[in-house]
Structure 1
Amino acid sequence: MAPKRAASSKKRKASDTDTEEGRTASPPARSTKKAKVTAATRDVEDTGLAPNRQPTNKVLPTRITFPPQGKNTTRIASWNISGLAASQKKGFKYYVEAEDPDVLILTETKEVNDEPVDPSLSDRFPYRYWSISERKTYSGTAVLSKHEPLSVDKTLPGHPDPSYVKGRIITLEFENYYLVATYVVNAGQKLKTMSEKKLWNQHFEVYIRDLDKKKPVIWGGDLNVAPTEKDLKNAKQNWNKTAGYTEEETSSFARILNPPDSAAGANKFVDIWRERHPEDRHYTYFSYRFNCRTKGIGWRLDMFVLSERIAERVKMCEIRSEIYGASDHCPVVLEIEGSL
């Protein structure tokens, strides 16, 4: 179980301001030492850094501050919250207030069985779309937006089991882009659901290419794959044994980035964080077990993948490494030039 913040959620009051220093959201001070978050320095004063140079805090920092959004950009954030209700009790809203993205992708909302009524979200995001699994407390994906899309689709065309797709994908069409949010199928313990993962990959590869032929694609969410050995701590021990790092999964992802010669007319895609951070071994998921956060033992599963022809428009893409404790995942954020 994740460690809880010291203050009761009923007693918290947060401020949300845009200043020259950036966006800030401040829960009340805890009795422990204060930890200041700045995306520019990635310094967490009360915990230090893990061997891979990511922070080791296990609850959200007391003060969350990010640099201001770039002019004429759209900020998109993606976060696996590992259950909306649980995350809300551990400081979820303070990250949202500080980040204040134009679009927020949420994955693994889990306990959401009906579209939630949450003023902190509805006041900030007038356009909200939830894909809810038919299985209660399972999967779940949402896209919350300040901008109205032209259309919304919650299906994966061609997939033979629409009920299995529910809770895993939402596509928003905007004037300039398609935004695809996914909580991709997990291959399961001992790879027991690898057949379901292969079926998903088969249809998703076709789907994203079909979209890309019409207009550029921004694909984000928990993609449930560590693309290379740089994207998880213990690569050799996990290869072809652990969900997310198998030949089947990494090859499927690689085909999307670099289509084979047989895929005539198919365009390339870019894993934009990896392109901007070619050598960093930073992760977005740290198990609550075995002190993985402190040891820097994690996986990079949450990411943004873009049509190659728009990659140069991305002005920033970062893992919000300090935002840990409200979930066992850290958010990922990008800013892209212009409007959606």
Structure 2
Amino acid sequence: MTRKHQSTDISEKTLGLEEEGSNSHSDSSPEGSTRPTKKAKKEESTPIPTNTKMPESLSFEKREGTIKFASWNVSGLKAALKKSFRTYVEAEDADILCLQETKVNTEVEGVVDHKKYKYRWWGFEDGKKGYAGTVVFSKINPISVSFGLSTHPNPKVTEGRVITLEFETLYYVACYVPNAGEKLVRLKEKIIWDEAMEKYLRQLDAKKPIIWAGDLNVAHKPIDLARPDTNKKTPGFTPEERKDFERILNGGKNKFVDTWRHFHPDTLCHYTYFSYRFQCRSKNLGWRLDYHVVSERILNRVVESEIRLNAYGASDHVPIVLVINDDL
């Protein structure tokens, strides 16, 4: 099953990762200190991966009686396919796989094993290649599928960025949130998006719980990027965007939860995006922009929320994974 919708254009990320030496802080701690605070930790049991190529082999656990979601900004699907994209996808074996920033205007064959993933929905811009584009591959047939944000004053600009799957027990909202743009030229549009996104999620949540997944293009707290002090006017870390994200999580009667931070409240230096510039990956200078957010009332179903830190090399992002108990 395949659906196609139009996406909007978005310029390349400009996330303010400055060249080594131009920043007043020389380490990669989000607080700019030489070591984590007493409360914060680096999860020192294993070193943080800084590989720049996808490992030749990967292995991930598959738990019985659970549903696994994987989300990944591939930063150009065709390019990712040439750089060990399938190594990760086959190793993860997620039940539902959401990709963002596909940058394609037609379906791409051979992305996944169609015998495993019988259901798939594409969102892209017809007629030309853009910077947006989403696709969801699923082993499970949903009740219904919808595209875009009906709550936005101009729903057309949301096409290609949101795909919502309805299941018996929850909604799964696969999302690629727009960037505020170089020099914040689209910050006003981003704020409008945030307001529409919040309204949309709360409308769904009034019916049944939600999982909101994808590249949400915001680093919520200073702990969520390597150099917060020099990026306060950078897209993704402006006060306006952070305030909007905080309101989406905690501003309504029913709360939403950033699952990775819930399970790793004090963990430092774990990021999902690393600029190709300035050797950011090898220096672990990154941003946590990718999320699995859930309705608070189903938090007890969450078994695991992880960042696949070692699965880098096919994109400038790494995948994220959410595992929940019981059927959808």
Aligned-pair CA distance for 1:157: 1.1
Q: Which runs of 5+ in 1 are unaligned?
A: 1-48
Which residue in the other structure is 1:45 paired with? Answer: none
Which residue in the other structure is 1:157 paired with? Answer: 150
Stretch deviating more after TM superposition (328-337 or 120-129): 120-129
Matches within 5 A, 1:158-307: 158-239=151-232, 241-259=233-251, 263=252, 266-281=253-268, 282-307=270-295
C-alpha separation between the residues in 1 aligned to 2:312 and 2:145? 30
2:305 counterpart (304, 317, 322): 317
The C-alpha deviation readout for 1:177-211, integer Å capped at 9, x for no partner, is 10001000100111111111111111111000010
Residue 46 of structure 2 is aligned to residue 58 of structure 1? no
C-alpha separation between the residues in 2 aligned to 1:243 and 1:329? 16
Aligned-pair CA distance for 1:161: 2.3
2:317 counterpart (329, 335, 339): 329
Which residue in the other structure is 2:107 paired with? Answer: 115
C-alpha separation between the residues in 1 aligned to 2:112 and 2:284? 33
Question: What is the one-letter code of the residue matched to 1:62?
Answer: E
C-alpha separation between the residues in 2 aligned to 1:117 and 1:248? 40
**Given the superposition, is the C-alpha separation of residues 121 and 190 from structure 1 closer, same or farther in structure 2, using an over 3 Å criterion?**
farther
Aligned-pair CA distance for 1:158: 2.6
- 2:151 is paired with a residue whose SS is coil
Aligned-pair CA distance for 1:329: 0.2
C-alpha separation between the residues in 1 aligned to 2:283 and 2:216? 23
Q: Say if 2:304 and 2:322, in contact at 8 Å, map to a contact too.
A: yes
Residue 136 of structure 2 is aligned to residue 143 of structure 1? yes
Which residue in the other structure is 2:69 paired with? Answer: 76
The C-alpha deviation readout for 1:212-246, integer Å capped at 9, x for no partner, is 0000000000000000000000001101x100001
Question: What is the one-letter code of the residue matched to 1:59?
Answer: K
C-alpha separation between the residues in 2 aligned to 1:119 and 1:154? 21
C-alpha separation between the residues in 1 aligned to 2:115 and 2:85? 15
Stretch deviating more after TM superposition (246-255 or 215-224): 246-255
Aligned-pair CA distance for 1:339: 1.2
Aligned-pair CA distance for 1:94: 1.1
TM-score calculated relative to the size of structure 2: 0.83
The C-alpha deviation readout for 1:159-184, integer Å capped at 9, x for no partner, is 23233111110000001110001000
C-alpha separation between the residues in 2 aligned to 1:221 and 1:192? 23
C-alpha separation between the residues in 1 aligned to 2:97 and 2:112? 13
Q: Say if 2:81 and 2:111, in contact at 8 Å, map to a contact too.
A: no
Select the structure with the greater relative contact order (CA < 8 A; seq sep ≥ 6).
2
Question: What is the one-letter code of the residue matched to 1:276?
Answer: F
**Given the superposition, is the C-alpha separation of residues 204 and 120 from structure 1 closer, same or farther in structure 2, using an over 3 Å criterion?**
closer
Which residue in the other structure is 2:121 paired with? Answer: 129
TM-score calculated relative to the size of structure 1: 0.81
C-alpha separation between the residues in 2 aligned to 1:98 and 1:158? 37
C-alpha separation between the residues in 2 aligned to 1:300 and 1:236? 16
Which residue in the other structure is 1:90 paired with? Answer: 83
- 1:122 is paired with a residue whose SS is coil
Aligned-pair CA distance for 1:53: 4.5
- 2:282 is paired with a residue whose SS is helix
Q: Which runs of 5+ in 2 are unaligned?
A: 1-42
Aligned-pair CA distance for 1:328: 0.5
Residue 296 of structure 2 is aligned to residue 308 of structure 1? yes
Aligned-pair CA distance for 1:250: 0.7
Aligned-pair CA distance for 1:119: 6.5
Aligned-pair CA distance for 1:114: 1.3
Sequence identity, in percent? Answer: 52
C-alpha separation between the residues in 2 aligned to 1:65 and 1:253? 33
Question: What is the one-letter code of the residue matched to 1:173?
Answer: E
Stretch deviating more after TM superposition (163-172 or 177-186): 163-172
Aligned-pair CA distance for 1:115: 2.0
Which residue in the other structure is 1:102 paired with? Answer: 95
